Structure 1
């Protein structure tokens, strides 16, 4: 079982080895086909043209592209927080409604039926035009089944936009208030001004003691389990 002393020791080690991981603003090109109906602008002759904006971080893959497109549309509509709330509400509601969850996953459902269902749901829930139009695009392109993954990537963008950094801290027991305060202060010092640590605690008895800190692409494993494994390899 981890003790306060071991946790405090791990926090001290953590503060020495970790360095700030700044999030640089990167250019993202939004293709007009993806931006259809919710983020396009007229070209010189009334046709669609590619829009160019800045997003707080670059995401890749299909879900990353859709999340980035929604982010840009929400920023343009000045409704970023509202869109985030609506998208997360839809994801949570789908988890509590097996029939609707299956409906989103079923590719056999015709596109027109999917679109009608989404329009009806958005009207009843009084969702914003940005959210509704985005969900319609997903329905038309058979991408509703990815809405939960898209929502996760979208939250990554909104957190980066607000200067928040998600930090996962794994320990054997919940951090005592004093150690939790020390950890947050250490993280804040590391991240610097303009960034805010959003700490998520996880309990995992298998690490035996110490702690594991994860954020961005960095993992700092200061658990007793890992130290014991390192010692075993050294002795071998």
Structure 2
């Protein structure tokens, strides 16, 4: 992705930050002008909902998420919806996570709690500026850096995607096969799942390759799992053959 490329190009900038002994003066500016109350409180998702102007329509999360990662994801969702930038924020967040995976230096930095808070904030500010992230995404990542929560960014991103999919009325279906499905079979499977889910929801198919299932297909959507893999059928057959035969029933 172009966005991920811009993030990767900022690695040299990030390395300069790590070598710098001076602390960023941007911290106070961030606190004064960039950070909104939504992100500064562990219970910011509730605070954000009550911070809206009286005449504004109250924004609600489509799915209630629990835990620290769920709270952060919910707060980001509320901020993104209010800014009318949900798709952009989702794209930026996923690009950030993808770029993070491709930079061993940066991922070690993110997981290192001994790094000074000012250094973390300076690094995130610089990377977000070079990647041309929106203010919503930048503010959110800065708060994670401030609170030492950047190490949870992958989990937070996954929870955020849950909210965006619910917002769009999408249901993710994970299809596991040994080789990629041909386009015609993928289309037919998607139509079948759409019939099962019904109207009002849209199936979003995600293919996963796993040679260990030996053949066949495994479909996961919602709380349902349809396992038609050769591996599972072989196990079922093995259990059947090992069961003792009741001669009285013959």
Q: Among residues 86, 97, 100, which one is paired with 2:103 in the alignment?
A: 97
Partner of 1:144: 150
Larger radius of gyration: 2
Pairwise CA distance, 1:55: 1.5
Deviations 1:19-49 (A, max 9, x none): xxxxxxxxxxx8971339x947659xxxxxx
Q: Report the secondary structure of 1:54's partner residue.
A: coil
The structure 2 residue matched to 1:219, chosen from 217, 221, 225, is: 225
Distance of aligned partners of 1:107 and 1:193 in 2 relative to their CA distance in 1, 3 Å threshold: same
Residue matched to 2:41: 33
Out of 85, 94, 110, the residue aligned to residue 79 of structure 1 is 85
- Relative to the length of structure 1, the TM-score reads 0.74
Give distance in 1, aligned partners of 2:238 and 2:112. Answer: 50
Question: What are the residue-to-residue correspondences of 1:54-73 with 2, within 5 Å?
Answer: 54-73=60-79
* Alpha-carbon spacing, 1:202–1:41, altered in 2? closer, same or farther (3 Å): closer
Q: Check conservation: 1:32, 1:40, Cα contact below 8 A.
A: no
C-alpha separation between the residues in 1 aligned to 2:156 and 2:127?
Answer: 19
Name the counterpart of 2:23: none
Question: Which residues of structure 1 form unaligned runs of 5+?
Answer: 1-29, 44-51
Instruction: Name the stretch that deviates more: 87-96 or 73-82.
Output: 87-96
After superposition, the C-alpha distances for 1:91-148 in whole angstroms (9 at most, x for unaligned) are 1222232222222111011112212222222222222221111112111111011112
Query: Of residues 187, 194, 211 in structure 1, which corresponds to 2:193?
Result: 187
Please report how far the alpha carbon of residue 181 of structure 1 lies from its aligned counterpart in structure 2 after TM superposition. 2.2
Equivalent in the alignment of 2:133 = 127
CA gap of 1:206–1:165, structure 2 versus 1, over 3 A, is: same
TM-score (norm 2): 0.71
Q: Distance in 1 between matches of 2:196 and 2:173?
A: 12
The range that moved more, 215-224 or 203-212, is 203-212
Q: CA RMSD in A?
A: 2.5
Runs in 1 of length 4+ with deviation above 6 angstroms? none
Q: Which has the higher contact order (CA 8 A, sep 6+)?
A: 1
- Report deviation, 1:79: 0.9
Q: Distance in 1 between matches of 2:229 and 2:155?
A: 30
Correspondences of 1:6-25 after superposition (within 5 Å) = none
Q: Which one has a larger percent strand, Structure 1 or Structure 2?
A: 1
Which residue of 202, 208, 220 corresponds with 1:202? 208
**2:120 match:** 114
5+ residue gaps, structure 2: 1-37, 53-57, 244-250
